Amino acid sequence: MKSSFSRRTFARLVGAVVGSASVPLFAATGTEPPGSRTGRMIFPEGFLWGSATASYQVEGGVHEDGRGPTIWDTFSHLPGTVAAGDTGDVSVDYYHRYKQDIALMKDLGLRSYRFSIAWSRIFPTGSGAPNANGLDFYSRVIDELLANGIEPFCTLYHWDLPQALQDKRGWENRDTARAFADYAGYVAGKLSDRVRRFMTMNEIRSFVELGYQQGIHAPGLKLSAARVAQLNHYAVFAHGLAVQAIRAAARPGTQVGIADNVQATTPLIETAPHIEAATRAMREQNAQYLTVIREGRYTDAYLQRLGADAPKFTLEEMKIIASPLDFIGLNIYQPTYVRADESPKGYAVVNPPASFPHMYSPWLYVGPEAIYWATKLVNQLWNPKELYITENGASSSDVPENDGTVVDSDRIMYLRNYIGQLHRAISEGVPVKGYFVWSLLDNFEWADGYAKRFGIVYVDYATQKRTPKMSAAFYRDVIARGGLA
Ligand code: BG6
């Protein structure tokens, strides 16, 4: 097993210059800046407090109702790939227990729930004839959510590529992008009568770099730099094609976005030179992901750094990649601290010293201001109509006490501080409209299997018993009060 320490360690890119527009301070987000009169951190009326899960991580039921195999079924069954040889075969059995889990959501007061659709439940081999039973499952989930007053947010790809497509070179094959768009359009056509917001993909960076470069996620490949750059290009292209397919098939008013784990470049010290450095770094560190999706071109520094390994692309593809979005979802966990630097790129990424505090996962450094700076800089650089925090959360060691209570004080500390910094961004006019805790339930955490728990609800994997942790009580209170009182 490779150490999960490398989970979020990313290649550094060479820098370039950036333009920026400033964010109005205390721009109106409602009738007045939220919390301004009382000094409490109260979020705007209608703010969508939610939580998130993903298909392979919670569903189980991998052989049911015509679901086709995915790269995670294959990968997790290979020896030495996942901690303790865990697989998502059963996971937390959400496929059969979703009603109970939605009741838990309701009890927490959740206004929204982000889930993903398993492509291979809809198209078992990735394309061809749709499997009606697969769609039915999600249709029932959506009905149950709506009956409980919870708004569904639907992700179309959270890393579980149909194995049949990987057998034809997966994301290295340009045809996979077309198949993804067809699947996305089909689902949006069927579900947009009840789902208003779709996200094309979850964390392109993660599935490209961990799955195809570092080989620690499915499909477990370690491709050359040139092949990774090309498949990365096809992945962002697939996102753009899917945006267009969803718009073409969905009901008017349907909103389309993405859930991106932007590198949350955060100034080490909040002074002008370091803030400028973090702004430049935001563009360059995310050049082949959010930057190209927003700007329709790769930065010069990115192309120069890759040289002969740079992706081949057409101008038509670049236009499609930059298809307009209704919102940007950001998954924010840890900061990438940046400082001003004399080098031509104008910034340096600061490596965390060994003493830097982190959560139970070694990669998950605690830096709450990351959520403030990421939302603020993304807004400043790319001016999205709306932003959502599509994931934020933390792993804890979570040992139940004798009476079953889980007192996850560290997770509460983490959430409180990140939510506070999110309020700071909103109070400055950054248009963040909702926040999703990762995760509702303990679940299959990819290469970590069941060894790392991110849920605000504890799951006893032997009995499937769900027990809300203290962090669930904390979050319920945040939702009930509309913020941090
Ligand atoms: C996010 C993913 O990157 O982080 C989730 O979107 C994932 O699917 C979460 O579970 C935690 O990451 P990990 O690798 O520790 O399971």
**Average pLDDT of span 366-371:** 98
Q: Phi and psi dihedrals of 108, rounded to 5?
A: -75, -15
pLDDT score of 367 more than 50: yes
For the stretch 209-240, pLDDT in tens is 999 999 999 999 999 999 999 999 999 999 99
pLDDT-based confidence at residue 39 (cuts at 50, 70, 90): low
Burial of 21 from C-beta contacts in 10 A (0-12 / 13-18 / 19+) = exposed
Q: Distance, CA 49 to ligand 1 centroid (Å)? A: 19
Lookup: tokens for 39: 């000094």
Peptide bond into 219 cis (omega under 30): yes
Q: What is the pTM of this model?
A: 0.93
Higher-scoring residue by pLDDT: 41, 24: 41
pLDDT score of 8 more than 70: no
pLDDT-based confidence at residue 154 (cuts at 50, 70, 90): very high
**Average pLDDT of span 78-102:** 98
CB atoms within 10 A of CB 138: 23
CA distance 203 to 57: 15
Tally of residues, the chain: 485
pLDDT score of 433 more than 80: yes
pLDDT score of 3 more than 90: no
Instruction: Please state whether beta strands 457-460 and 387-392 pair in parallel, antiparallel, or not at all (unpaired).
Output: unpaired
CA nearest 333: which of 1, 14, 7? 7
Residues forming the active site: 203, 391
Residue 154 C-alpha from the chain's centroid: 12
Q: Distance, CA 296 to ligand 1 centroid (Å)? A: 27
Ligand 1, residues 445, 448, 453: which to mutate, most atoms within 8 A of Cβ?
Answer: 445
| Nearest residue (CA) to ligand 1, atom 16 | 445
Contact 321, 239 (CB under 8 A): yes
CB atoms within 10 A of CB 176: 24
Q: Phi and psi dihedrals of 334, rounded to 5?
A: -135, 155
Q: Phi and psi dihedrals of 273, rounded to 5?
A: -65, -40
For the stretch 47-70, pLDDT in tens is 999 999 999 999 999 999 999 999
Q: Distance, CA 64 to ligand 1 centroid (Å)? A: 25
pLDDT score of 16 more than 50: no
Three-state secondary structure of the chain: CCCHHHHHCCCCCCCCCCCCCCCCCCCCCCCCCCCCCCCCEECCCCCEEEEECCHHHHCCCCCHHHCCCEHHHHHHCCCCCCHHHCCCCCCCCHHHHHHHHHHHHHHHCCCEEEEECCHHHHCCCCCCCCCHHHHHHHHHHHHHHHHCCCEEEEEEECCCCEHHHHCCCHHHCHHHHHHHHHHHHHHHHHHCCCCCEEEEEECHHHHHHHHHHCCCCCCCCCCCHHHHHHHHHHHHHHHHHHHHHHHHHCCCCCEEEEEECCCCEEECCCCHHHHHHHHHHHHHHCHHHHHHHHHCCCCHHHHHHHHHHCCCCCHHHHHHHCCCCCCEEEECCCCEEEEECCCCCCEEECCCCCCCCECCCCCCECCCHHHHHHHHHHHHHHCCCCEEEEEECCCECCCCCCCCCCCCHHHHHHHHHHHHHHHHHHHCCCCEEEEEEECCECCCCHHHCCCCECCCEEEECCCCEEEECHHHHHHHHHHHHCEEC
CA distance 162 to 255: 25
**Average pLDDT of span 172-181:** 98
Radius of gyration of the chain (CA): 21
Higher-scoring residue by pLDDT: 362, 12: 362
CA distance 325 to 314: 21
Which range is least confidently modeled, 13-27, 127-141, 466-480? 13-27
Residue type, 230: Q
On average, the pLDDT of the chain sits at 93
Residues with CB under 6 A from ligand 1: 7, 54, 57, 202-203, 206, 261, 331, 361, 391, 438, 445-446, 448, 452, 454
pLDDT score of 24 more than 70: no
State how far the alpha carbon of 237 is from the alpha carbons of 9, 90, 123, 230, in Å: 24, 33, 20, 10
Ligand 1, residues 454, 456, 459: which to mutate, most atoms within 8 A of Cβ?
Answer: 454
Predicted local confidence at residue 214, as pLDDT: 98
Predicted local confidence at residue 485, as pLDDT: 84
For the stretch 452-461, pLDDT in tens is 999 999 999 9
**Average pLDDT of span 344-359:** 97
pLDDT score of 267 more than 60: yes
Burial of 312 from C-beta contacts in 10 A (0-12 / 13-18 / 19+) = exposed
- Work out which ligand 1 atom sits closest to the CA atom of 454: 11
Which range is least confidently modeled, 33-37, 144-148, 161-165, 349-353? 33-37
| Nearest residue (CA) to ligand 1, atom 12 | 445
pLDDT score of 25 more than 60: no
